[in-house]
Amino acid sequence: MNEGIKKSPSPEEIKRLQDKEDAEELAGHFALYPEQIIILSSRKNLIEVRPEIAEFEAMIVSFESTHSIEKLCAIVDISLELSTVFKFAIEISYTPEQLEHSLRDVTKREPEYAKKQREKITAAKAIVLTPEDREKFEMRLAAQKDIIPIIKKLDIFKKETNIHPEKYKELENKCNNLMRAIGRIDNSRYPNKIIHSIIPA
């Protein structure tokens, strides 16, 4: 007599069905909105982060309107003094407390190396730049500081979202264009120069 009565699903069966439903819902969401970037915050919850993309692109526009890409790219051949100061540009701007905090971990691991770094930073701080070099230094340092939140935002897209590879590459290219404008220093191969070529991964 009980053959026609259906048993209530077990907790394991309920979980399996929920997982299947979630997977189907997510697949359907991507099919409808393949360009969207989403964060899986919790079951049955998809937080769209399209506004985050708009914020990232606004940061790019703000950077380009604040800093002259043309002038940054024009900083190529530099003096030995400016090259030395550029090497420790961020550290030079630190307060003594901030500097010690930045060297805290390396001091524990390699105290001798940390000591030499402090000496080099102190020496770089003592360098007196010409007015022309000072202008270049301040221009590039300001750009270096303003690129940091852009890089951090890009890192969030990569690590915390299900970003579509093509969309991420588009955002990454925009960030890399700014990083190339700022350039990098490689005194071992290109002494006293700012390199604006592709930044290696």
41 SS3 class: strand
Model pLDDT, residue 70: 96
> Contact 124/88 with Cβ under 8 angstroms?
yes
47 SS3 class: strand
- Is 171 exposed, middle or buried (CB count within 10 Å of its CB: 0-12, 13-18, 19+)? buried
| pLDDT digit string, tens, across residues 47-66 | 346 778 889 999 999 999 99
Q: Which helix (H) or strand (E) holds 104?
A: helix 104-109
Question: How are the residues of the chain apportioned to helix, strand and coil, as percentages rounded to the nearest 5?
Answer: 65, 5, 25
Model pLDDT, residue 157: 83
Model pLDDT, residue 90: 87
Note the maximum CA span of the chain: 99
> Contact 92/84 with Cβ under 8 angstroms?
no
Model pLDDT, residue 158: 80
Sign of CA dihedral 36, 38, 43, 44: negative
| pLDDT digit string, tens, across residues 85-136 | 998 988 988 898 999 998 998 899 999 999 999 999 999 999 999 999 999 9
Q: Is the pLDDT of residue 11 over 80?
A: no
| Nearest alpha carbon to residue 88 among 189, 187, 190 | 187
> Contact 199/176 with Cβ under 8 angstroms?
yes
Model pLDDT, residue 42: 41
**Rg, the chain, Cα only:** 25
Token reading at 47: 């937080």
Cα(158)–Cα(14) distance, integer angstroms: 33
> Contact 150/182 with Cβ under 8 angstroms?
no
Q: Characterise 68 by phi-psi region: left (phi > 0), alpha (psi -120 to 50), beta (else).
A: beta
Model pLDDT, residue 24: 60
| pLDDT digit string, tens, across residues 27-44 | 565 555 544 444 444 433
| pLDDT digit string, tens, across residues 133-150 | 999 999 999 999 999 999
Q: Is the pLDDT of residue 163 over 50?
A: yes
Q: Which residues contact 79 (CB under 8 A, 6 or more apart)?
A: 130, 133, 192
Model pLDDT, residue 51: 79
